[in-house]
Structure 1
Amino acid sequence: MRRYELETEREGSAVYFFIRDIETLDIVLLPTKYLMHKIRSKCSPNTIRRSALSILYYLEYIHEKEQELIDIYQMPYVEQTEHFVKFLYWLKAGKHTQDENHRSPNNGTCNAYLKDVFRFYLFIEEEYQQFGELKALSYNYFMAVDAVGVKKSIRSRSFKGYLKEEEHKARAAKKDEIVEILKACTNIRDRLLMLLLAETGYRIGEILGIDYSKDIDYRNHIIRVYFREDNENGARAKNAEYRSAKISKDTFDFLNLYIAEYRKLLQHQTSLFVNISGDNIGKPMNVEAVYSMLKRMEKKTGIKITPHMLRHYFGNERRKAGWSLELIQLAYGHRHIQTTINYLDIVDDELLDASQEFYEKHSSLYGIEELL
């Protein structure tokens, strides 16, 4: 029997998350205060929802252990570490859900849940300093140099007991697969959605957040991404960032065709992608509708494509065309170059070929022939 449940409440475009004690019907104050802090910090609804679920699972775990949040601070280092390691294995065993058909989460997902729990504890420490600090989070030190060359020591806290994460590399969509899906689409909207995902490399939330009255440069064929919190469909740019991408003339012509075809639906609001049938006709399209469409295309063609696979396709095609890693990183909106590298299908053979080509062009680097 579960002790806690996650509740949501919407006010306009804002979504609020609460954790309620099913037995007392009271809202659990500490987690709710933390989730409100996440909202004020401009975190995305998806990020806040995952944090809420992580805390919900953890509250269930300590309830089973007959413990309270504050009790964990009193544990010795070894016992505290063991407590969090056992939480990871509790998650891995699927005890966080009552769904018998639910697949066991992978190690990376379990670690992500625990990291959210640690962020929650760090919030508690900042708000209520009398509780002290978690002993299981050890300090790491590293040196950093700022823009003017001043060195400083940076201290961070980390946990040593995370599960070893499996290597995961999402597959990039292939051009012939995209063509087959485009042929199978039964309307202009779905085809345009596929084309923009493939040609911009934008995340699905960024595509669904496009305002056709403000975000499109019709003269230069440029689609821009802006951070907004008030999109009716909850779509928003990640990391509160701005980016722009140029699309091909053919896709731009298709965009104009789409706007002309659905002008009567589009004229009542400003979202580029809207529902074109059903009870919500004319309302901004949401992420669930996109995945439902792609699922239908998969049944129809036998080809599985996701927005993330199209994002991978974008980067790999640009790399083949000679774009530098830094340009692809900017196009993706990645903060770290390693994230960009993980998106690209770079294999060892390419590294060896590149090395061979380098040495053929620079055969005498160190004047070794004079030493022989």
Structure 2
Amino acid sequence: MKTYEVGNVRYDGKVCFLIRRTEDASICVYPTKYLKHKTTSNRSPNTVKRIAFSLSYFMGYLKEQGRQFEDVYEMTYSAQMEFFQNFLYWVKGGKHISGEVRKIPDNGTCNAYLHDVFGFYQFLEMEYEQFGSLLVLSDKTISYTNAIGVRKTKLCRSFDGYLNAVSSKGRTIERKNIIVLLDACTNCRDQLLLLLLAETGFRIGELLGVRYVEDIDYQRCRIRVEPRVDNENEVRAKYEEDRWAKVSKDTFDILLFYYAKYRKLLRESEYLFITLSGEHAGQALTEDAVNAMLRRLQKKTQIKVTSHMLRHYFANERRKNGWSLELISQALGHRNLQTTINYLNISNEELVEASEELLYGIFQLRHRRD
């Protein structure tokens, strides 16, 4: 049985996460205060939930080691390094998961758990004077490209003991498989959802937050991502930036047909995507409901599909149509061009050819100057 469990309560219109001891249901004060801090800082519920589970895993590791949070500050540099690296191997071995069936996390996931733990420790250091600083975190300056392509630098605290993580190419989906999935849908709402994910490149949380009066340009067949923190279904745009996406005429016709078919239900909500039946009919559709629908489609068609795969499909289709990397990145709402590159199915041969073309262009420019 798990030593700690993650729970949530609704307070002042927001979902607040907490961590409890399973033996007596008592609340763990420091971690729960940190989670409240993240919520009041307008971090998305999914992000805070992820952090909550990361901390609960680390707390289970601490209990196995007979340690408390503050004990780490008493360790030497080498002892801290060993302690945190052992946590990585602990979760890598699946010891954070209860039950017989264990899905072993990859190195990147393990590192993400520890990154969340370090965020908690830095909160403790700023909130409570009695805590010092972790010796294993060093100050480093990193460079990044923002959403409009401007190169910037910032100071951050870094850990040198993470596991080696391979950056993997995200999985996309073929057009023919999308057609099969569309045919397998039981209603036009699900068809519209799949089509808009594939045509806009929006994240599922962004699309489920679309409001059909405010965020749709009916004259020019466009849909907008508008960052909000008060969505009924608790979805959230990743960044505080709005952007528009063009929708094909055929898909917009399906959208209008969807309006006509479910007009009465839609009048009860301001959201484009709603629940169509049951006790929650007319309420904003949730991410859990969409994921359940996609799993049903996969079981019915034997075709693997996720909202993120459709986002990758959007990126690769735009690349085939000649969009620049920067334009695709802006359409996806990425802040780093490398993230966009990881979405694209670019072969090593293409990268070599691009490098050769760049070098040839530089040579020609220098030759003309000479």
TM-score by length of 2: 0.92
SS at match of 1:315: helix
Contact 2:192 2:254 in 1 (8 A): yes
Structure 2 CA distance for aligned equivalents of residues 50 and 356 of structure 1: 43
Aligned length: 365
- In the TM superposition, 1:49-60 aligns within 5 A as 49-60=49-60
The Cα offsets for residues 81-139 of structure 1, whole Å up to 9 and x where unpaired, read as 00000001110111111122121111111100000000000000011133110011123
- CA pair 280-169 structure 1, distance change in 2 beyond 3 A: same
Contact 1:13 1:231 in 2 (8 A): no
Larger Cα Rg: Structure 1 or Structure 2?
Answer: 1
Contact 2:168 2:342 in 1 (8 A): no
Residue in 2 aligned with 1:149? Answer: none
What displacement does 1:337 show? 0.9
What displacement does 1:339 show? 0.7
SS at match of 2:183: helix
Structure 2 CA distance for aligned equivalents of residues 142 and 221 of structure 1: 40
Contact 1:226 1:243 in 2 (8 A): yes
SS at match of 1:350: helix
SS at match of 1:335: coil
Residue in 2 aligned with 1:334? Answer: 334
Residue in 1 aligned with 2:298? Answer: 298
- CA pair 367-300 structure 1, distance change in 2 beyond 3 A: same
Moved more, 252-261 or 20-29: 20-29
- Work out whether 1:9 is the aligned partner of 2:9: yes
**AA partner of residue 98 (structure 1):** S
Residue in 2 aligned with 1:140? Answer: 140
Residue in 2 aligned with 1:120? Answer: 120
- In the TM superposition, 1:272-291 aligns within 5 A as 272-291=272-291
- In the TM superposition, 1:139-288 aligns within 5 A as 139-141=139-141, 155-288=155-288
- CA pair 326-143 structure 1, distance change in 2 beyond 3 A: closer
Moved more, 33-42 or 280-289: 280-289
**AA partner of residue 170 (structure 2):** A
- CA pair 210-360 structure 1, distance change in 2 beyond 3 A: same
Moved more, 94-103 or 22-31: 22-31
- In the TM superposition, 1:338-349 aligns within 5 A as 338-349=338-349
- CA pair 75-352 structure 1, distance change in 2 beyond 3 A: closer
**AA partner of residue 268 (structure 1):** E
Structure 1 CA distance for aligned equivalents of residues 58 and 340 of structure 2: 32
The Cα offsets for residues 207-240 of structure 1, whole Å up to 9 and x where unpaired, read as 1111111111111111011112222211121122
TM-score by length of 1: 0.91
- In the TM superposition, 1:309-328 aligns within 5 A as 309-328=309-328
Structure 2 CA distance for aligned equivalents of residues 201 and 144 of structure 1: 23
What displacement does 1:302 show? 1.7
**AA partner of residue 230 (structure 2):** D
What displacement does 1:364 show? 5.5
The Cα offsets for residues 52-86 of structure 1, whole Å up to 9 and x where unpaired, read as 11111111111111111111001000001000000
SS at match of 2:80: helix
**AA partner of residue 178 (structure 2):** I
Contact 1:223 1:246 in 2 (8 A): yes
Residue in 2 aligned with 1:70? Answer: 70
Structure 2 CA distance for aligned equivalents of residues 153 and 316 of structure 1: 30
- Work out whether 1:131 is the aligned partner of 2:131: yes
Percent identity between the aligned chains? 52
Structure 2 CA distance for aligned equivalents of residues 36 and 70 of structure 1: 20
Structure 2 CA distance for aligned equivalents of residues 356 and 138 of structure 1: 38
Structure 1 CA distance for aligned equivalents of residues 143 and 357 of structure 2: 36
Moved more, 36-45 or 344-353: 344-353
**AA partner of residue 270 (structure 1):** E
**AA partner of residue 304 (structure 2):** K
- In the TM superposition, 1:26-105 aligns within 5 A as 26-105=26-105
**AA partner of residue 323 (structure 1):** W
Unaligned runs of at least 5 residues, structure 1: 146-151
What displacement does 1:278 show? 2.6
Contact 2:227 2:237 in 1 (8 A): yes
Structure 2 CA distance for aligned equivalents of residues 339 and 357 of structure 1: 23
Unaligned runs of at least 5 residues, structure 2: 146-151
Contact 1:13 1:232 in 2 (8 A): no
What displacement does 1:154 show? 5.2
SS at match of 2:130: helix
